[in-house]
A and B are shown apart, each in its own frame.
Chain A
């Protein structure tokens, strides 16, 4: 067992727990956005930060969802530094999602008074990565990923066209904290698509048979049978030849 102090209370936890898990076990509330118990912790939203001090050294902020419980650690979950940090982090998330109800509620909970900076484009997606991580780790299909870098990051399928791997399970829709996906049923088909996108992620024919054959073999056969094309010419889109 590991012994540490959280908010001046002595706490005992099993080995291998993170600070967040220890807090939740003991009823201490820590706000999170990108954390899900069924997935590997990501450490991306930085809302779950707490202050940790080891051996009397200066405390520093760490993400509790990934930081392990260490013997003798002194943890503060509501210090001024922590509260301030979470507030600014929430304000920064609001910078890109200033009309999204779930994020507005988060901002209010964490004391955001004013959103002083706004990004040019608004998006319900806060890049928590839950959809991508679920698709990779749980569903195992890896139909989507986070593309590009920095402020231009977004969740998309390869080449931003209909996925040849998506099985329409809807996990991404369900796990998304801000409902940034659309899930609609039209004429016997269930469509999944990112809210702001112009394409469908994938679809599943309700009541039909799920064809789980790897699509790659069909796609590449199709591509290889074509004449070599000049660079830059739009070729066949991935998944075009695929029909469920």
Chain B
């Protein structure tokens, strides 16, 4: 994805005219690009009247932000208490083993980013893995394999 400075500028200007919330501006950029390019922080700092060092602190403090681009497919494993008690660590382990990365990392081909989340609030279906926003409940290590296969199948087709 190309980083368009003018698009980032527009997002930040819109926020500057409205609430002036640094975090809201950065969240929109994060959603659009799946990470925060350096330009975003610099422009946000200038337009919203915040020192760049503060913007950088904010970008590195909150889990929602990433300074490195994420993979095409984001897998979130819920590590909430209910899911933990029902076996989410094994599900995570299986994913890490199959993808060859640890939670928080992206595969070298930039296809998958694996992350843990602290409770999605759908505890009746634990353990849960969310793939690109879609929930898969009652996950087990075997279901992990099936899930990955399904995503790769779609990838191969496109």
Cβ of A144 within 8 Å of any chain B Cβ, yes or no, is yes
Q: Which of A209-244 contact B (CB under 8 A)?
A: 216, 219-220, 223-224, 228-232, 235, 238
Indicate if the CB atoms of B5 and A231 lie closer than 8 Å.
no
Cβ of B21 within 8 Å of any chain A Cβ, yes or no, is no
Cβ of B42 within 8 Å of any chain A Cβ, yes or no, is yes
**A136 to B, closest residue via Cβ:** B51
Write out, one digit per residue, whether chain A residues 147-160 have a CB within 8 A of any chain B CB (1) or not (0).
Answer: 11100000001110
Indicate if the CB atoms of B5 and A228 lie closer than 8 Å.
yes
Indicate if the CB atoms of A235 and B38 lie closer than 8 Å.
yes
Give chain A residues whose Cβ lies under 8 Å from the Cβ of B61.
147-149
**A140 to B, closest residue via Cβ:** B51
Give chain A residues whose Cβ lies under 8 Å from the Cβ of B1.
230-231
Write out, one digit per residue, whether chain B residues 124-152 have a CB within 8 A of any chain A CB (1) or not (0).
Answer: 00000000000000000000000000000
Write out, one digit per residue, whether chain B residues 25-47 have a CB within 8 A of any chain A CB (1) or not (0).
Answer: 00000000101011101110110
Beyond A165-B52, A231-B37, whether A148 also contacts B2 by CB under 8 A is no
- Count how many chain B residues have C-beta atoms less than 8 Å from C-beta atoms of the other chain: 27
Beyond A228-B3, A228-B4, A232-B68, whether A157 also contacts B53 by CB under 8 A is yes
Indicate if the CB atoms of A146 and B57 lie closer than 8 Å.
yes
Beyond A148-B61, A219-B42, whether A142 also contacts B54 by CB under 8 A is yes
**A228 to B, closest residue via Cβ:** B2
Cβ of B78 within 8 Å of any chain A Cβ, yes or no, is no
Indicate if the CB atoms of A223 and B33 lie closer than 8 Å.
no
Give chain A residues whose Cβ lies under 8 Å from the Cβ of B37.
231, 235
Cβ of B83 within 8 Å of any chain A Cβ, yes or no, is no
Give chain A residues whose Cβ lies under 8 Å from the Cβ of B81.
none
Q: Which of B45-66 contact A (CB under 8 A)?
A: 45-46, 51-57, 60-61
Which of the residues A142, A229, A231, A238 comes within 8 Å of B51, measured between beta carbons? A142
Give chain B residues whose Cβ lies under 8 Å from the Cβ of A159.
38, 56
Indicate if the CB atoms of A238 and B42 lie closer than 8 Å.
yes
Which of the residues A145, A148, A232 comes within 8 Å of B53, measured between beta carbons? A145
Cβ of A48 within 8 Å of any chain B Cβ, yes or no, is no
Which of the residues B3, B33, B43, B53 comes within 8 Å of A142, measured between beta carbons? B53
Give chain A residues whose Cβ lies under 8 Å from the Cβ of B56.
145, 147, 158-159
Give chain B residues whose Cβ lies under 8 Å from the Cβ of A158.
41, 52-53, 55-56
Query: What are 22 contact pairs spanning A and B, CB under 8 A?
Result: A136-B51, A142-B51, A142-B54, A143-B53, A144-B53, A145-B56, A147-B56, A147-B60, A158-B41, A158-B52, A165-B53, A219-B42, A223-B5, A228-B2, A230-B3, A231-B1, A231-B2, A231-B33, A231-B35, A232-B69, A238-B42, A238-B52
Q: Which 10 pairs of residues, A with B, have the shortest CB-CB distance?
A: A142-B51, A145-B53, A158-B56, A145-B57, A147-B60, A232-B69, A228-B2, A158-B52, A148-B60, A231-B69
| B interface residues, Cβ below 8 angstroms from A | 1-5, 33, 35, 37-39, 41-43, 45-46, 51-57, 60-61, 68-69, 110
